[in-house]
A and B are shown apart, each in its own frame.
Chain A
Amino acid sequence: MTNGEIRTSDGELLSVKLKKVESRKRTGALVLVLPLLLFIIITYIFPIIQMLQRSVDNTQMNDLLNNTYQVIQNWDGTDFPPEEVVKTFYNDLKYLSENKLHGKIAVRLNYEKGGFSSLIKKTVRKLDSFDIDGNYLQQFKDVHKRWADQEYWLALKRATVPYHGRKYLASFDFKQDFDGSIVRIEEKKRINVTLWLRTIYVALGVTLCCLILAYPIAHLLSVLPTRYSNLLMICVLLPFWTSLLVRTSSWMVLLQTQGVLNDFLVFLGIVADENRLELMYNMTGTFIAMTQILLPFMVLPLYSVMKTISPSLMRAATSMGATPFHAFRKIYFPLTYAGISAGSILVFVLAIGYYITPALVGGAKGTLISNRIAYHMQSTLDWSYATAMATILLVGVLVVYYVYNRVVGIDNMRLG
C-alpha cells in the first residue's frame, strides 16, 4: 500500500476501475438513447434545417437561367442590359421553352415583379419568329411593351442570384428597391407586420387570460379535499383529452351569428334579433376559443406547484397579523412563480404557433402567422416565402424554449 492507493480484488487501482465502470455506464445510457435520438435527428431536425435553407435558396432558378446569371451580373443596372446579356437570356429562354421548363421561371419571376408570368408566356410563344442575327433587345421590346420597362430587366437580374434574403425582408413588409436600398412596401400591401403583431398580441393576451382564469381554480383544486378536487379535476382533464377539432367545432356552434350563444342572448332579450353579435370570423372568436382550449395547459402546472405549498405558511402569516390579502401577496403568490412561469411559457409557445382554431373560427380577420405560412405553403406555393416566415417564427419559439429550459428546466416538465 504505497501512496494510499486502494486496489480492487483483481489488482486494479480503484480509481481506474471506477472510471472504467462509469464510462461503461455512460456508454450504456447513450446506447439506449441513441435509436430515438438518431430517429429524431434524421426524420425531424435535419428536414427542418433543410427546409429552412429554402428560405434563402434560389438555386433552382439559378440553374435554369445559369448562363444569363453569368453575364447579367456584369450589367451595372443602368439603362438596359447590353446586347450580349439579352442574347444569352434569349438562348436560355429558348432552351427552357423547348424543354417545357419556362413555366417554372414564369412563376418565380412573377414573385419578383407582377406581370412577369404573362410576359414570359407571351414571349415564349414568339421566340421562333426572332431574327437570331438582329438586335435582340429591340426584338424583345417589340414582342411586349413590358420589356421596354427597365424594371423587368432589373427584376430578372435580382431573380437569378443563387442565394438571397429577400423573403426575410418581405416577411416584415420590406423590399429591396431597384437602387438596392431597403424600403417598406406600399401601404395597402402591408399585411405581414399586422399579422406578426396580431400573433404576438393574441399569444400574450391568451396567456394572460389563461393565467387569470387558471389561478383561482388551480388554487381551489389544490386546497379542496381529494375526493372533491378529483371530481372538479374532470372539468380540466376532459377538455384536455378531447380532440382539438371537437372543441373548435363546439366553439363554432356557440359563436355563430345563428349560434347557441346568440340564440340565448336573444331569448333573454339582451340582444335584439336583428343585430346579433358578430362573435365569429374575427379576433373575438379566435381569442375566446384559444383561451378555453389552452386553459388546461395553464391549470395543470399551476396546480402541481400549488399542491406543494403548505397551508400552514398562510396560517402562520395571518396569525402574525398579516391581512389575508397581504399574506397572499407576500407569501403565497411568490411561491407560485415556478408554476406561473411554466404555465405561461407553455401556453405562449402553443398559442404563437396556433393554426387550426384561427383558420376555422378566425375567418379572414382572425388569422395568425401560421395561417399565412400555410397559405404560402399550399396556395401560392411560394415556398421560400413560407419558409422565411417559418424560420422567423421558429427562432422566436426557440428563444422562448431556451428561456423555459433555463427557468423551469426541461427535465421538470410534467404532463397531466
Chain B
Amino acid sequence: MALAKYTETRYRIWHYSYLVICASVFFFLIAPLFVIVPLSFNAEQYIHFSSGMMALDPDAFSLRWYEDMIYGTKNPWGIAVKNSFYFAFFATVGATTLGTIAALGLSSRYMPYKSLIMSILISPMIIPLIISGSAIFFSLAKVGLASSFIGVVIAHIILGTPFVVITVTATLSGFDDSITRAASSLGSTPTNTFFKITLPLITPGIISGALFAFVTSFDEIVVILFVAGGDRSLTTIPLQMWTGLREQLSPTIMAVATCLIVLSTLILIVTELLRRRSERIRGISAQ
C-alpha cells in the first residue's frame, strides 16, 4: 500500500483521506463494543463514565455488577446461562448431524433438484425471524410442545441447519474427488474411505458450521420469545437481556455483555485457527 515516490500530490491527498475513511469505518464497527467493557466495572448505579473513572481513580471501579450477576437474587442469570448452554448444545448436535449428512448428499454430482432443495434448506435463514417464530410456535403448540425444552431445541435446530449446510457444502465444493477414488482403487470400503479420508478433510468445515449453529442458538431471541412463551424456567441469556433492556439499562447487563464479548472473542480465535488448519490441509491435499 506504500505510495510510489513520484505520486502526484492530489493522489497523495486522496490516498490518505481514503485511509482515514477506512480507519473511521473500522472504528465505527468496533468501538461500540468496547464502550461496554469499562462501564461494566463502574462502581456507580448509573451507566456513564463518571469523573472518577475518567481520572482512573481505583475507587470508581468495582466488580459489584459481576457479583450481582452471579449472586443477585433478582437476576436469574444462573438458570439463563445453564439453559443457554443446554439449548445450544443440543441444537448444535442436532443441526450439525442433520446438516452435515444433507450437505454430503447435496455435494454429490448426481443430486437431483439441487437448487430447489437447497433453497428450502436455506429458507430458515432468509425468512424473517418474526414469521419463523410465530409459525414454529403455532405448530409446537398444536402438538403440545410449546414452552417445553424439546420445543426450544427443535426450533433452534431448524434455525441452525442452514449455516451447517452452507459451510459444509462450501468445504465439500473444494473437495478433490480423486482422493476418495484413489482410496477405493486401493481397496478401501466406502465406509472406511468416508471415515479415514473424507471426514478428516471436511472436519474444519463441520466444526465451523457447528460453531455457527451454536452461536445461532446461543444468541437467538425472536423465536424463543414466542416458543418459551413467558415460561421463566426456559429463560436464556438473550431472553433475560431482552427483558432487562426493556425495563432499564442496568450495569448488571453491561457485566453480562462483557462476558459475552469475551465469549465471542474466544469463538473468533477458534474460527481463525480452524481457517488456518483448513488452509494447511488444503495446501497439502492440492499437491
Contact = CB atoms under 8 A, between A and B. Distances in A.
Looking at chain A's contact residues, the main secondary structure is: helix
A415 interface: yes
Contacts of A216: 18, 21-22, 25
Interface of A: 22, 25-26, 28-37, 39-41, 43-48, 50-51, 213-214, 216-217, 220, 223-224, 230, 232, 234-239, 241-254, 256, 258-260, 263, 292, 295-296, 324, 349, 352-353, 355-356, 360, 370, 373-374, 377, 386-387, 390, 393-394, 397, 401, 405, 410-411, 413-416
Given A29-B111, A50-B139, A250-B35, A352 B264 contact: no
A279 to B, nearest CB: 13
Given A50-B139, A415-B212, 14 more contacts: A33-B102, A39-B161, A223-B1, A241-B215, A243-B219, A245-B221, A246-B241, A292-B29, A292-B32, A324-B14, A373-B134, A390-B134, A397-B126, A410-B119
Contacts of A360: 242, 245-246
Nearest to B113: A30
B233 to A, nearest CB: 20
A224 B19 CA distance: 12
Contact of A401 (B19, B105, B119, B135): B119
B235 interface: no
Interface of B: 1, 11, 14, 18-19, 21-22, 25-26, 28-30, 32-33, 35-36, 39, 46-49, 98-99, 101-102, 104-106, 108-112, 114-115, 117-124, 126-132, 134-136, 138-139, 154, 157-158, 161, 163, 165-167, 169-170, 173, 208, 212, 215, 218-219, 221-222, 226, 237-238, 241-242, 245-246, 249, 253-254, 257, 260-261, 264-265, 267-268, 271-272
Contacts of A414: 166, 170
30 contacts: A26-B112, A29-B105, A30-B105, A32-B101, A36-B99, A36-B161, A36-B165, A39-B98, A44-B123, A216-B25, A220-B1, A235-B30, A238-B268, A242-B33, A245-B219, A245-B242, A246-B33, A253-B39, A295-B28, A295-B29, A296-B29, A355-B128, A356-B221, A390-B130, A394-B128, A397-B126, A410-B122, A413-B166, A415-B167, A416-B271
Contact of A370 (B11, B29, B130, B226): B130
Contacts of A43: 136, 139, 154, 158
Given A51-B135, A352-B128, A353-B130, A232 B98 contact: no
A35 to B, nearest CB: 6
B261 A246 contact: yes
B278 to A, nearest CB: 12
A404 to B, nearest CB: 8
Contacts of A34: 105
A415 B252 CA distance: 33
A247 B122 contact: no
